Structure 1
Amino acid sequence: MHPLIAPLEGSLIVSCQAYPGEPMRDPRTMAQVAAAVSAGGASAVRAQGLQDIRAVQDAVDEPVIGIWKDGAEGVFITPTLEHCLAVIDAGADILALDGTRRDRPDGRTLEQTITAVRERFDGPLMADCDSVDSALAAADLGIDLIGTTLAGYTRARPTTTGPDLDLLRRLADQLPSSSVLIAEGRVHTPAQAAACRTAGAHAVVVGTAITHPTTLTTWFHDAVTSS
């Protein structure tokens, strides 16, 4: 097991992202948010975009999980080999990429992408998966961290209210012992985060519920105005 992975066991990983056009969509702001969640106990920070990865890397001592979102449909989380290499060059400690079985924009398979990445990078890899099949396939390729990031966001599984605990339980039973199971996606409360651990997740990623004030505000706004 890579030395960056062991400290993630039983921990909280925080995703620090803002969407294009939002007031917080600035690498300096995301770096400050990352520093704040680091102070709160985050074991790692997930950062999106090359500038954000560099800024967050300078702001925290914890590992930075780097992604590059390009587009909004299909495979868009670090979708190609070019994106993967750019994320690595930006300083990510852990490279995360789409781990589904869908066609990738550059025509490479996930296996071909991982093989090429391994020629340049010996750090941990994280696959953002959407189903049991995609997760097991990613594990077979030797990907270190298997995330449920895309469960409910493709056609592979229905969208659950809160995290997909059924998927977590199934993966906890079926993944090889060498794989580290990461819960990610729609974890909106501490109770849900704890439920992910009970379901078998080694670590839990929380993003929106900690680092996205626009969404948090709409939750409270809707509750107040509809009462």
Structure 2
Amino acid sequence: MNHIIESLKGGIIVSCQALEHEPLHSSYIMSKMAYAAEIGGAIAIRANSYEDIVEIKKAVKLPILGIVKRDYDDSEIYITPTMKEIDELVQATVEIIALDATDRLRPSNVTLDEFVSQIRSKYPNQLIMADVSTYEEGIKAWKLGFDIVSTTLSGYTPYSKKGENPDFELIERLSRDTEVPIIAEGKIWTREDAVEALRRGAHAVVVGTAITRPSDITRRFVEAIRK
């Protein structure tokens, strides 16, 4: 197993992202958020956009799981959807590139198989991670040769399992039935969630909103009190 992937084992990856409409949208702020996560013991950072990643790399020495979120009119996919975003992430020298590996067409009607082939042809040594929403997508990603599979998109596609809790069943099944590390991501709100994900076989756990989105954290407290 690649030494970078091995270094993630049993750890917490903190997702430091803020989109344009969010109060903390700033590459500087995200770099400080990543630094705080590093001090707290995070073993890697998941980050969005070339600009944020460049600033974060100045602040921390941790591996970066990089994505670029970008909307295209002809596709629902927005997590690293085309080679343009792949090129940006390679230029930012991220250790791992994550991309939407769901069973949907990319912009210009590019299939996942075609996209992976393009990436491997141009950047044969780049580690890539599949963000999937179902068991079948995870199995396909493994067979296509992704280095890591993540449960990031479970509940976020029209056909995947809905619910407020992490998809522990998906984590467990993919950990059992594939030969690549499985990263648990999505709806992990508590320490107990993170521990349970690892117990179910996850190689590592990504925590985002519960750590780095104060507006959402506040909203959960407010909603609980109102109920």
TM-score of the aligned structures, taking structure 2 as reference length: 0.94
Post-superposition CA distance 1:65-108 (Å, at most 9, x none)? 11011139721100112211112112211100001111111322
- For residues 143 and 103 of structure 2, what CA distance do their matches in structure 1 show? 13
Aligned residue number for residue 219 of structure 2: 218
Aligned residue number for residue 5 of structure 2: 5
CA RMSD of aligned residues (A): 1.5
Aligned residue number for residue 88 of structure 1: 90
Measured after TM superposition, the shift of residue 219 of structure 1 is 1.2
Aligned residue number for residue 192 of structure 1: 193
Aligned residue number for residue 102 of structure 2: 100
Q: How many residues align?
A: 224
Q: Which moved more, 1:32-41 or 1:78-87?
A: 78-87
Aligned residue number for residue 157 of structure 1: 160
- For residues 222 and 165 of structure 2, what CA distance do their matches in structure 1 show? 20
Asked if structure 1 preserves the Cα contact closer than 8 Å seen for 2:70 and 2:80, the reply is yes
Matched residue type, 1:65: L
Matched residue type, 2:80: T
3-state SS of the aligned residue for 1:106?
A: helix
Map 1:56-135 to 2 at 5 A: 56-71=56-71, 74-118=76-120, 119-120=122-123, 122-135=125-138
- For residues 57 and 112 of structure 1, what CA distance do their matches in structure 2 show? 31
1:208 pairs with 2:175 = no
- For residues 175 and 22 of structure 2, what CA distance do their matches in structure 1 show? 37
Asked if structure 2 preserves the Cα contact closer than 8 Å seen for 1:49 and 1:67, the reply is yes
- For residues 162 and 86 of structure 1, what CA distance do their matches in structure 2 show? 33
Aligned residue number for residue 147 of structure 2: 144
3-state SS of the aligned residue for 2:108?
A: coil
Asked if structure 2 preserves the Cα contact closer than 8 Å seen for 1:2 and 1:123, the reply is no
Point out where structure 2 has 5 or more consecutive residues left out of the alignment: none
3-state SS of the aligned residue for 2:220?
A: helix
Asked if structure 1 preserves the Cα contact closer than 8 Å seen for 2:186 and 2:206, the reply is yes
- For residues 172 and 64 of structure 1, what CA distance do their matches in structure 2 show? 22
3-state SS of the aligned residue for 2:206?
A: strand
Post-superposition CA distance 1:199-218 (Å, at most 9, x none)? 11111000000011010111
| Structure 1 residue ranges (4+ consecutive) displaced by more than 4 angstroms after TM superposition | none
Aligned residue number for residue 173 of structure 1: 176
- For residues 112 and 155 of structure 1, what CA distance do their matches in structure 2 show? 23
Residues 40/121 of structure 1: CA separation in 2 closer, same or farther (3 Å cut): farther
- For residues 50 and 106 of structure 1, what CA distance do their matches in structure 2 show? 23
Map 1:22-61 to 2 at 5 A: 22-61=22-61
Matched residue type, 2:128: L
TM-score of the aligned structures, taking structure 1 as reference length: 0.94
Q: Which moved more, 1:141-150 or 1:78-87?
A: 78-87
Matched residue type, 2:136: D
Post-superposition CA distance 1:1-48 (Å, at most 9, x none)? 222110111111110011222221000000000000011111100001
Asked if structure 1 preserves the Cα contact closer than 8 Å seen for 2:130 and 2:141, the reply is yes
Post-superposition CA distance 1:144-202 (Å, at most 9, x none)? 110000011012322122110111111122112xx010000000000011111111111
